A and B are shown apart, each in its own frame.
Chain A
Amino acid sequence: MIVVTTDSVEGRRVIETLGMVRGNTVRAAHFGRDLGAFFKNLVGGEVEEYTKLLAESREQALDRMIAEATARGANAVVGLRFVTSEIAAGCAELLAYGTAVRIE
């Protein structure tokens, strides 16, 4: 599965557009990680606990989007975008979406 942020895949012609595909997730850190993040928040620098939380969410949203594209018979997703918002404090919500296509 080729996943790109551009509207087309260089050198490959789109033969069928299958529609929008998306994957989302909301993940939370456990109490210990939240507490660890609180202490790092006091002194500054990277809060690795939340970097990790966001990265986990990103990968899961991406996988869910790819799974939907695969189920539709696509071999590529173009125009990939990520959107994030806040559902609850300490949670990372991520939505990945793009257009599923079949390319040569």
Chain B
Amino acid sequence: MAAEEREPTREELLAMAYADGELSGPERAAFEAEMAQKSELRLLVTRERRLDALARGAAGPEPMDHEWRALAQDPLQRASLGLGWSLLLGGLALGVVATFIALWLSDVDLLGKIALSAVALGFALLVAGAIRARLRTQPYDPYTEVQR
């Protein structure tokens, strides 16, 4: 059964016009002010820009693409990659914990232990901040699905 068609909403029409650069100066300024307040408008504009970017690269598939898709479904390849990543990341996490424990059980003086722990904690906090910022902004990044 064909998907039911519906009329685009006012917001969708405005987002399309904005993404296509069809709004006049005052209309654009009004839309930008509204977009600053509403995350759903920002998502609509992102969707339009995503479609534009994908449409610009609308070349057909290359012969190798079919093999990549088959490989992605191949059980041996999936198991190999899954196990590889699990071992790598699990080992890394264990290594960090073991290093931390070894540091605090070592003969390094207290000031050294605190300094090294502070560096490690600072690094972890900065990484966490970068990950949080990326997760927050990613929905508004229209280029994540561009492949080539």
Contact = CB atoms under 8 A, between A and B. Distances in A.
Interface of A: 1, 27, 30, 32, 35, 46, 48, 51-52, 55-57, 59-60, 62-63, 66-67, 70
A1 B64 CA distance: 33
Contact of B21 (A27, A30, A70): A70
Interface stretch (B98-106, B116-124, B140-148): B140-148
Contacts of B88: 35
Contacts of A30: 134
Interface string B31-59: 00000000000000000010011001100
Q: Which 6 pairs from chain A and chain B are nearest by CB?
A: A70-B21, A56-B143, A59-B53, A55-B146, A56-B146, A55-B148
Nearest to B134: A30
Most B CB within 10 A of own CB, among A30, A35, A57, A70: A70
B56 A52 contact: no
Contacts of B143: 27, 56-57, 59-60
B8 to A, nearest CB: 21
A58 B144 CA distance: 12
B48 to A, nearest CB: 11
A59 B56 CA distance: 9
B23 to A, nearest CB: 9
Most B CB within 10 A of own CB, among A56, A60, A62, A67: A56
Contact of A67 (B21, B142, B147): B21
A55 B148 CA distance: 5
A35 B134 CA distance: 19
Contacts of B64: 46
B58 to A, nearest CB: 12
Contacts of A27: 143
Contacts of B52: 63
A6 B40 CA distance: 38
